[in-house]
Amino acid sequence: MIVTQRAVTVADLGVEPGPPRSAGLHVSSLIKAICFKLEPERFGGEITDWTRIELGFTVEKVIERAWSERRTDVFRPGEIAKDGISGSPDALSFDDDGPVVEEIKCTWMSSRGCPEDRKFWHWLVQIKAYCHLTEATRARLHVVFVNGDYAQHREPTYLCWDLQFSPGEIAENWMMLLNQKRDLASGT
């Protein structure tokens, strides 16, 4: 037997990251700018590990596909814009109480403390922004933790949380993003 390893990457799977983005300011760009101000050592580097990003897209697509095969109440809404800021929620679902933002993540961070730990703060900012864009106050955070909690369960773990935000929390979060938009426009 002759065995030859092929040089391939996750990108070779051809998984599309989602609908293309329009030109303009996006929620994620504002969050990255805020995070860089708060923790430049953590958020200041260039993205170099595209395999992790591609794996995140793949996990997102797998979960979306499972939803499309099993649920009729979940759909990808595409890009939504308000106040000159665009966002692309992973999915929206609906129940008797109204819309629910569905956000999917794949991470190498430990699952410990999620979602309240400050290392996940930027995820909550994103989710609250999507709640503002969709007029929702509820969300579900779906996360694949590649290495579990790094302690007892050092294996891939899929966890999900139901999140309920007050209108004030969502408005305050949006105001923070608007302030960051203003800072970027003024060069500060």
The mean pLDDT value for 129-137 works out to 98
- Assess contact for 64 and 102: CB atoms under 8 A: no
The mean pLDDT value for 106-132 works out to 96
Nearest residue to 79 via CA among 34, 131, 122, 26:
26
Residue type, 36: F
Q: Residue 43: is its pLDDT beyond 70?
A: yes
Residue 17's alpha-carbon distances to 14, 56, 62, 103, in angstroms, are 9, 9, 12, 14
The mean pLDDT value for 162-176 works out to 98
Greatest C-alpha distance within the chain:
65
% of residues, the chain, pLDDT over 70: 88
pLDDT on residue 169: 98
The mean pLDDT value for 22-42 works out to 88
pLDDT on residue 44: 78
Domain 25-186, what architecture?
Alpha-Beta Complex (3.90)
- Assess contact for 91 and 72: CB atoms under 8 A: no
Q: Residue 179: is its pLDDT beyond 80?
A: yes
* Residue 46 buriedness (CB in 10 A; 0-12 / 13-18 / 19+): exposed
pLDDT on residue 20: 65
Q: Token pair 């979306």 is at which residue?
A: 64
pLDDT band at 130 (very low <50, low <70, confident <90, very high): very high
SS3 139: strand
* C-alpha dihedral (168, 171, 176, 182), degrees to nearest 10: -150
Beta bridge partners of 100: 93, 138
The mean pLDDT value for 59-69 works out to 89
pLDDT on residue 9: 60
pTM comes to: 0.88
- Assess contact for 167 and 135: CB atoms under 8 A: no
pLDDT on residue 47: 65
Tokens of 107: 């991470």
Ranking 102-106, 114-118, 153-157 by mean pLDDT, the lowest is 153-157
Q: Residue 12: is its pLDDT beyond 90?
A: no
